[in-house]
Amino acid sequence: MSGITATGQKRLVLISGRAHPELAEQIAECLGSELVPTDSRTFANGEIYARFDESVRGSDAFVIQSHTSPINEWLMEQLIMVDALKRASAKRITVVAPFYPYARQDKKGRGREPISARLVADLFKAAGADRIMSIDLHAAQIQGFFDGPVDHLFAMPVLLEHMQRELDPSTLTVVSPDMGRVRVADIWSDKLGVPLAIIHKRRDPLVPNQVSVHEIVGEVDGRVCLLVDDLIDTGRTIVKAAEALKASGAIGVVVAATHAVFSDPAVELLQSEAIDSVVVTDTLPLPAHKRWDGLTVLPIAPLLANAIREVFTDGSVTSMFDGAA
Ligand code: R5P
């Protein structure tokens, strides 16, 4: 037989953006691996540069970035890293975006609006991404925006395990803060074996244009309510929901959310008397000034590391979630 043959092994390469290096380091540690040393810089005019200090040729590369503020900068950095990997002959490139940027802009609600979540998927594709890994997408259909495999992970097992330890199911009710979260809240109520309530926000017909009233479907009087949401941004949605629950007789309100965006004034609002405790994951960095006694932050790195291992070894991500992913 003539010609050159190669029987090399697959090589896992982990790259981190600068937004949340602690998360990437924890993922690497869970995998018993290390991050590729990278020279990342921002020039005086705001342009970003990235170069890997070692060869990535032929590798199975995972580019980890947390899309926290300033989100456009971190998105651009991840795109540039993907481009650099493509031009350095990485064999397969996976964008790891635990919190998918622009996920809330997933449809045209009114004329002349963008669908920015789709634009982000197109940008990842154009840069050279082969697949995307994300957690609790704001809308599941975002998976279809990217023309390639999307590993949609769920933080529920991480949050659920904590809640099962901390809360008494005999007085507990799971609450969806709006109609959009009902499906997820329903799964929570099944897993915990407790009743479900739903908050329906609607306009007060007597006060046009602005005031909305919270109608609660389900029994919350005398119950501890577990409000579940995918993300907390300014905190207004969840605090109003908690206040409505307390006004309807709830004896406690615990909040569980995957993505702690915590834009101002979230930290102040979430310390409201209507909320007993808030539990989130660290898909996004949470500096000390965004933490308080009533906040619990659960590590998401083990979940991401397991998913990366499954993808790298051609295993099954679905098997991590009882066949649901
Ligand atoms: C809404 O559909 C989302 O699930 C969140 O409830 C919302 O985007 C959170 O935003 P904020 O915390 O600013 O009210």
State pTM to two decimals. 0.95
- Tokens standing for residue 241: 């929901």
Residue to mutate, 69, 142, 232, ligand 1, most ligand atoms under 8 Å from C-beta: 232
pLDDT tier for residue 213 given thresholds of 50, 70 and 90:
confident
Q: Is 106 in the pocket of ligand 1 (CB under 6 A)?
A: no
Q: State the DSSP string of 228-272.
A: EEEEESSSHHHHHHHHHHHHTT-SEEEEEEEEE---TTHHHHTT-
The predicted structure's pLDDT at residue 323: 62
DSSP secondary structure letter of residue 322: T
The predicted structure's pLDDT at residue 322: 78
The predicted structure's pLDDT at residue 1: 56
Q: Which pairs from 26-31 meet CB under 8 Å and 24+ separation?
A: 26/299, 26/301, 26/305, 27/64, 27/301, 27/304, 27/305, 27/308, 29/301, 30/301, 30/302, 30/305, 30/306, 31/305, 31/308, 31/309
Average pLDDT of the chain to the nearest whole number: 95
- Quick one: the chain helix, strand, coil %, rounded to 5? 35, 25, 40
User: Domains of the chain, with CATH numbers?
Assistant: 12-154+302-318 (3.40.50.2020), 156-298 (3.40.50.2020)
Residue to mutate, 175, 181, 229, 272, ligand 1, most ligand atoms under 8 Å from C-beta: 229
Residues 265-279: tens digit of each pLDDT? 999 999 999 999 999
